[in-house]
Structure 1
Amino acid sequence: MKKIASLLLMALFAGAITLGAYKLFFEKTDYQLVSTDDKMPVFTTSNTPTSNKGSGINEVDFTIAAENTVNAVVHVKNVTMSSGSGSLWDFFYGTERNQQPQVGTGSGVIISPDGYIVTNNHVIAKAKEVKVTLNNNKTYDAEIIGADQNTDIALIKIEAETGLPYLAFGDSDNAKIGEWVLAVGNPFNLTSTVTAGIVSAKARDLGRRQSFIQTDAAVNPGNSGGALVNTNGDLIGINTAITSQTGSYVGYSFAVPSNIAKKVVEDIMEYGNVQNGILGINTIPVNTPYAVEKGVNEIDGVYIDNVVEDSGAAEAGLQSGDIIRQIDDVKVRRFADLTGYISSKRPGDEVQVKVKREGDLLTIPVMLKARQSLVVPVMGLEVKNLSKDDQKTYKTKKGVKITGVPETYRGYGLQGKIIVAVDDKEVKDIQDARRLFGEISRYGKTSITMLNEDGERERLIFQ
């Protein structure tokens, strides 16, 4: 009996050892920890390693760039004269009696220690008097050196007793989307205001056939002409515009790229006006029926619809149907990419244009030329300088050829004729044409002297 009991005890003991060994070495455990913390669980949604530096915002130091910039940004005040009150007295006796001074304000950036300042054209336009106040509250009278309405850039100068703090132009082509930037200016007459944001987009076209840097740094009235700088303190743009129904900042603003502003300033200082180099092509605006019909509404690049006669593009061999994909080192995805880069060049500069032609990529050197055509003010005629063939055909070396006529004047037989005088003032080239047509009064008579292909003079008078 004792033997049976001992065997049973040994069997139970052996079973316990076997079960314990199985539990210990073979069975998978599945523990769940229960705590009193009722927060939502956090899960990793990506296997991509995250930065051990955190969000990155605290890594950027704006203080040095801001300190260097505020002393080089000035407050610009311009004084213009109002055009009168519109009273019955003004109607009969003119408005000179009631003209009142009006003060406008903006910003400017000192770009040299001897007092040259870049600002916006619209800040100093029509000004009778311009005053500049530095960050140390000293005020100076400023001289307008020159301005360019197309790029909205102007150059003014003050005479200071000592060298001034200034900003050097940076390379706006190197600015990257997402890069931190500072906008420095004088919004609402609040001097030396610094706001921060990022580059939201580059080569933004606002319908002006020009390229802008878009940023979300706060810019308001009074910021115009101020500095857009990166965290190194490099001047990469001149703050110019906001798009807003209220007239105040609503989330994005625009700056003229520094490469364009620098080129305009250098042209004004060296030549007295802006030297515009053009490629010499016509393109098709996107989102138009013609673009859809041609199948170029969604292409990646700029489609060449036709090449302008006697232009650099024509001499280099660019063709209708080519798609421009790159110019020098700048990728071209839309028209603003192309115009933004060309705006920083002058006549005589050579650029390397990469085009797609029938499936092949070709790189073609093109020498930029001065603009040979334009649309004159008031009447809206499109005119161009005379080519050598034109000079032989019409037997003249002066004048401009009419190449486009608006609907209003199509019944006058103007197409293809040579304008040699406007109101008896000689027209030698398109610059003369632009100036003389700009002087035309909408309420008076205008006489235009032209040549036809037989060399015969014609004179038309427009009311």
Structure 2
Amino acid sequence: MKFKQIVTTVLISAVTAVAAIFVYGKYFEGRRPGIFQNGSNDIPVNYARYTMPGTESKANAVPPSDFVTAAKTAVPGVVHIKTKINPRQVTNGLQKRRSILQDLFGDEFFGDEFNGGGDGRRYYIPGQMASGSGVLISDDGYIVTNNHVIADADEITVSLANENKTFKAKLVGTDPSTDLAVIKIPAKSLPYLLYGNSDNVDIGQWVLAVGYPLNLDATVTAGIVSAKSRSIGINKSGGRINNSIESFIQTDAAVNQGNSGGALVNTAGELVGINSAIASPTGSYAGYSYAIPVNLVRKVVNDILKYGSVQRAYLGVKYASPSAIASMTDDQLREIGVRRDVNGVQITEVMDNSSAAAAGLRQGDIITKINGVNVAGSSQMSEQVARYKPGDKISITYTRGDKEYTSSNVTLRNLQGNTDVVRITNLDRLGADLSELSKEEATSIGVKGGIRVNDISTGIIKKQTSMIPGFVILKAGNTPVTSVNTLSAILDKEKNIQLVGFYPQRGGNIYYYNINTGGAGAENL
């Protein structure tokens, strides 16, 4: 009898325990996370069960536990680029001082040893050698790299990964605004990287940087995407206006000098960016690196291959940077129609005959979307617009007051306000940011007009002269120039020309700079 009671007691206890566990688990245990967290429809709780963003399947897929496959895929498609700039002779451009006899009788009575002539003091700049990286994008030898890797190079050589093969490369085209360039080597059946989709790159995603840092052989480093659409203010454009485009993918993959132009790939080995810069107080890797998104790279490369130059579209708006807004008073902001802390790009001016003007945008409007893609700031907006060419139609969403508007089928235009194909001119080959002097500026420095050189980037001026920013061009040859269009027309007609002008900050000395628009420097642009 006692035995039966013990068995019964044990059974009752077991049933009670099971019931207690069931009830506790059902009613008292904390709620287990479902497939998605925080009410989101796209952020999995157990991310390891899902593929990387942008892939089709999200179920029963596990990301790789290492990067072996991605490295094996990417390394053969990344090349080592070495450049050489030959020694060259330049002049400081300073006119020799005039004599009293020249003032009395005129220059025509004296030889070149007395005339200004523009020779000045000649000196040599020694040759330079540098190296970087590049990415094969086709099996017949087309390579994308950074513009600054091949800038001003007289000779470009390319070595393939893990092979003792070296080729002389030909420069196909450059785009200083995005710091991209395309070169080509005479080879076939080469391994190349497939384009990924940089729009699908997420913060926190694993990526690999592949390149040739510090003159080492092919090197792979890993990190995560730490930010997107970063603008760090390093690009300088060599053209008529400063129109640099920066919307970098920021990573913490170790990148050093020599990595420039190399590949940023995802764990599938797909190209998602071109490594371009590092943030460092020392010049070496200090935590963050920056890559140009591949969706922008693809557009630039396609334009260069199809047209010979990038077909860049412009909205035609001016806007205040966050730093400028932070430094302004409330009264100053009201004067230009700008508010603090808004999500979007605030317009301070709409240019005449521009895409924005045709779309009906006004000063004070806030652009929030381009073709349905959110743009929280100017870097995102610049990247989105840069993906299109003149003639393409887009939609622009903006707020005015408290209302949201969308202008559909807005036709993008080029800088000239039309949709014509833009060709590279000798003016572009100068590699200078130029602006016409206003009447007020000309009067203040005592001239009738001229063209100010605001910045000098890659190009003929840097390669052939010692000119520095701040120079005011008064003449091209014997022709006075007061407009950029006049200078452009002269440069297209004359192969050898002399730019005559002065530096207002240095006094009245006249400088002469001889340039050759068909000589050294022109072939590398």
TM-score (norm 2): 0.63
Deviation at 1:171? Answer: 2.1
Aligned to 1:81: 86
Distance 1:404 1:310 in 2: 23
Q: Is 2:220 the partner of 1:164?
A: no
1:314 aligned onto 2:370: no
> Structure 1 residues 318 and 250, CA, compared in 2 at 3 Å: closer, same or farther?
same
Give the letter aligned to residue 285 of structure 2. Y
CA distances 1:17-67 after superposition (whole Å, capped 9, x unpaired) = xxxxxxxx9xxxxxxxxxxxxxxxxxxxx977474969x998544221111
Greater RCO (CA < 8 Å, at least 6 residues apart): 2
Distance 1:440 1:83, change over 3 A: same
Q: Residue 441 and residue 152 in structure 1: after superposition, are their counterparts in 2 closer, same or farther (change >3 A)?
A: farther
Counterpart residue number, 1:62: 67
Q: 1:146 and 1:128 mapped to 2: Cα distance?
A: 14
SS of the residue corresponding to residue 134 of structure 2 reads: strand
Q: What residue ranges of structure 1 are gaps of 5+ in the alignment? A: 1-24, 26-45, 383-401, 447-463
- The question of whether the paired residues in 2 share the 8 Å contact of 1:378 and 1:442 is answered with no
Q: How does 1:64-463 map to 2 (within 5 A)?
A: 64-82=69-87, 94-96=122-124, 100-135=126-161, 136-160=163-187, 162-207=188-233, 208=235, 209=244, 210-288=246-324, 289-290=327-328, 292=330, 293-294=333-334, 295-365=338-408, 366-372=410-416, 380-382=434-436, 422-423=476-477, 424=479, 429=485, 432=488, 440=499, 444=510
8 Å Cα contact 1:420-1:428 kept in structure 2 = no
Asked if the contact 1:285/1:291 (under 8 Å) is kept, the reply is no
Offset of residue 174 of structure 1: 2.0
Task: Indicate conservation of the 8 Å contact 2:475/2:499, yes or no.
Answer: no
1:350 Cα offset (Å) = 1.3
Distance 1:128 1:352, change over 3 A: same
8 Å CA contact 2:83, 2:153 repeated in 1: yes
RMSD: 3.9
Secondary structure at the residue paired with 1:381? strand
Q: Distance in 1 between matches of 2:395 and 2:313?
A: 14
CA distance in 2, matches of 1:404, 1:275: 32
* Deviations 1:166-202 (CA, angstroms, capped at 9, x unpaired): 0122222221111111100000111110111111111
More divergent stretch after superposition (59-68 vs 246-255): 59-68
> Could you tell me how far apart the structure 2 residues matched to 1:410 and 1:434 are?
25
Quick check: 2:64–2:267 contact (8 Å CA) kept in 1?
A: no
Please give the per-residue CA displacement for 1:256-310, whole angstroms capped at 9, x wherever unaligned.
1112222221111111111110011111122324475335231111011121100
d(CA) in 2 for partners of 1:198, 1:439: 51
1:260 match: secondary structure = helix
The match for 2:240 is none
Query: Quick one: structure 1 residues 61 and 404, their matched pair in 2 at CA, closer, same or farther if it must change by over 3 Å?
Result: farther
Q: Distance in 2 between matches of 1:428 and 1:381?
A: 7
Which has the larger displacement, 302-311 or 261-270? 261-270
Q: Distance in 2 between matches of 1:286 and 1:439?
A: 41
SS in 2 for 1:277: coil
Hey, what's the Cα distance between the residues in 1 that align with 2:393 and 2:486? 23
Cα distance, 1:138 vs. partner? 1.0
* Count of equivalent residues: 372
Runs (4 or more) in structure 1 with deviation over 6 Å come to 373-379, 402-405, 425-428, 433-436
Structure 2 match to 1:390 = none
Task: Rate the CA distance shift 1:325–1:156 in 2: closer, same or farther, 3 A.
Answer: same
Write the letter of the residue equivalent to 1:238.
I
- Name the CA shift for 1:341/1:80 in 2 (closer, same or farther; >3 Å): same
Q: Which amino acid aligns with 1:199?
A: V
Asked if 2 retains the 8 angstrom alpha-carbon contact of 1:122 and 1:152, the reply is: yes
Please tell me whether the aligned partners of residues 80 and 126 of structure 1 are also in contact (alpha carbons under 8 angstroms): yes
- CA apart distance, 1:84: 8.0
Give CA deviations for 1:421-461 in whole Å, capped at 9, x if unaligned.
9543997849927978x973565468xxxxxxxxxxxxxxx
Question: What are the ranges of 5 or more consecutive residues in structure 2 without an aligned counterpart?
Answer: 1-12, 14-29, 34-44, 52-61, 92-118, 236-243, 418-426, 451-472, 503-509, 513-525
**Per-residue Cα deviation, 1:305-328 (whole angstroms, up to 9, x for no partner):** 121100011112112221111111
Residue type at the aligned position of 1:121: N
CA contact (8 A) 1:144 1:155 kept: yes
Contact 1:130 1:142 (8 Å CA) reproduced: yes
2:168 maps to amino acid: D
